Amino acid sequence: MTTPPAGAELRLRGRWIAPGRPVVMAVVNRTPDSFYAAARFDDASADAAVARAVDEGADIVDLGGVRAGRGPRVGAADEIARVIPLVTRVRARHPDLVISVDTWRAEVARAAADEGADLVNDTWAGHDPALMEVAAERGLGIVCSHTGGARPRTDPFRVEYAPVDGDDPLDGVLEDVVRTVSAGAARAVSLGIDPASVLVDPTHDFGKNTWHSLHLVRRTEALVALGFPVLMALSRKDFVGESLDLPAEERLEGTLAATAVAAWLGARVFRAHDVRATRRTLDMVATIRGDRPPARTVRGLA
């Protein structure tokens, strides 16, 4: 069996992040209405969640203030009020931790940069073109995502992608993802962002049905081949739930299965609600790949 090539390494603000191993990005949402109830945090519980994530092996924390799906309107000022004080506290309490802010708004990214954030996780594919300019001006990394043209906080409905030549009709979504994230990454590099600080994310579930998202997992190598660190945000998503007919609270095993496949195929960064389980899964995959030695090897030797 041929092992797929390892994915690109990640560098933020001139520092390599977890070199030689997959990176865990912990989800900490300062929202009262996240799709996964266990990920809803107020000010006090968010601080504890960050500390727990660090203890369980997170390399990055991704702080968000707006639910991805439909819900009550959250304006930019409200988002800033939810997220930026948390960025300030996390930076003070965890000076070496990489801080990502999940936002599509340039003004939120600018405020986060002022408080010491390292990365902007733009899950809405450049909806605000100025956001990437802020990242470049402030020396932040950027996540280039794909939504199939969907606007922020909208759900997909009967999404279709034009078929391409080939044996698999689902390659249409893959081609659209590759084209979109490649264009985003090229713009980021043209603005002066370090290519090792430009992540590409196929953005499962956003602008996609379950068949699309499953196909993007199995075709991870096509994204890895672009040469940028690949981010996989798989954790407890609907494509996992629909595959197994399970609610968000019961999707851990399915998430870890998808995580293992994507890690084997070279994805580098994994956004996760369940940090310890994800860290162990990724370490085991890295060991099977030969990228990481076993922690100990005494069986049959002592």
In a domain, 261, yes or no: yes
The two tokens of residue 16 are 């390599």
State which amino acid sits at residue 122. D
Cα gap 280→278, rounded to integer Å: 5
The two tokens of residue 140 are 């932040």
In a domain, 296, yes or no: no
- 206 in Cβ contact with 145 (< 8 Å): yes
In a domain, 298, yes or no: no
In a domain, 5, yes or no: no
In a domain, 157, yes or no: yes
Cα gap 208→159, rounded to integer Å: 6
Dump pLDDT digits (tens) for 220-263. 999 999 999 999 999 999 999 999 999 999 999 999 999 999 99
Dump pLDDT digits (tens) for 42-91. 888 999 999 999 999 999 999 999 988 777 788 899 999 999 999 999 99
Dump pLDDT digits (tens) for 79-126. 999 999 999 999 999 999 999 999 999 999 999 999 999 999 999 998
Dump pLDDT digits (tens) for 144-157. 999 998 888 788 88
Number of domains forming the structure of the chain:
1
Which string of DSSP letters, residue by residue, matches 200-253? E---TTTT--HHHHHHHHHTHHHHHTTSSPBEE--TT-HHHHHHHT--GGG-HH
Dump pLDDT digits (tens) for 182-204. 999 999 999 999 999 999 999 99
Q: What is the pTM of this model?
A: 0.95
In a domain, 6, yes or no: no
Domain harbouring 269, CATH code: 3.20.20.20
Cα gap 119→121, rounded to integer Å: 6
In a domain, 302, yes or no: no
- Residue 243: burial class (beta carbons within 10 Å; 0-12, 13-18, 19+): middle
Q: How many other C-beta atoms can be found within 10 angstroms of the C-beta atom of residue 228?
A: 26
Sequence-distant (≥ 6) Cβ neighbours of residue 89 within 8 angstroms: 47
What domain range is 187 assigned to?
Answer: 11-289
